[in-house]
Amino acid sequence: MFRPHTIIYVLTIALCSFAGAVSAQNAPAYATAAVADSSRPAAQRADDAARMPATIVAFAMVKPGSVVAEVRPGRGYYTRILSKAVGANGKLYSVDSAERVQARPDRMDGINAIAAEAGYSNIEVATPPFASLAEVGGPLDVVWTTNGYHDMINGQTPEEMAAYNKSVFRALKSGGYYFVLDHAAQVGTGLSATDTIHRIDPEAVKEQVLAAGFTLDADGDALNRANDDRTTQGKFENSQFMLRFRKP
């Protein structure tokens, strides 16, 4: 027999799942078409249900014709998607720092391989110094980072992070967007979980980015999971936050 609090819990999970499904269905056609790109590896497609990429692309204000800097592309889950979303009239800079590439010269090999494929000629790989990481060719419409901000915290001093966020501000055109998505830690934990469970308090990100001159344009909850207490290892299936900042 269900107890009242159990029924409420189940209904909450169901409503969150329903909201996510509706949000994905309402994503614009260019975003859903980018996710449907047949060149995407099956292993990446397997993560789509948890990561909801069409919804995320739309939330970040990436559109056909946009000029976007994708910071720390990792294994390229979003690289193909963003390339197709901005289209032939857009540009995607796939960016990691010169310092990280010097430490591991093969770091961008996978991204370089994508850029060399037919149909992805709008991708340009760049490796500037960390302090000017986003200043790759602009002015930019969007600077994008997913699940990488907490790792930047781990590798940089507070002063270096402040310089990085200011470089994003400089790189964007007036009215441009800075999009940050990451694994969510409990509010109030600050930066304490970035190296242990690879999560970060969204309020800590807001504090740092707002200090660079941005305004908070939107705080999305499509990837919030009500059954996640935010104390375990950050995974795509667990809660992630997404913040859209705007350059005035």
For residue 19, pLDDT over 70 is answered with no
Alpha-carbon distance of 149 to 59, in angstroms, equals 18
What would the 3-class secondary structure string for 145-173 be?
EECCHHHHHHHCCHHHHHHHHHHHHHHEE
Q: What is the mean pLDDT of the chain?
A: 90
Give this prediction's pTM: 0.88
User: At the topology level of CATH, where does 4-246 sit?
Assistant: Rossmann fold (3.40.50)
Instruction: For 157-167, write each residue's pLDDT tens digit.
Output: 999 999 999 99
Alpha-carbon distance of 165 to 179, in angstroms, equals 12
Residues 6 or more apart whose CB falls under 8 angstroms from that of 198 comprise: 150, 151, 183, 233, 234
Alpha-carbon distance of 94 to 134, in angstroms, equals 10
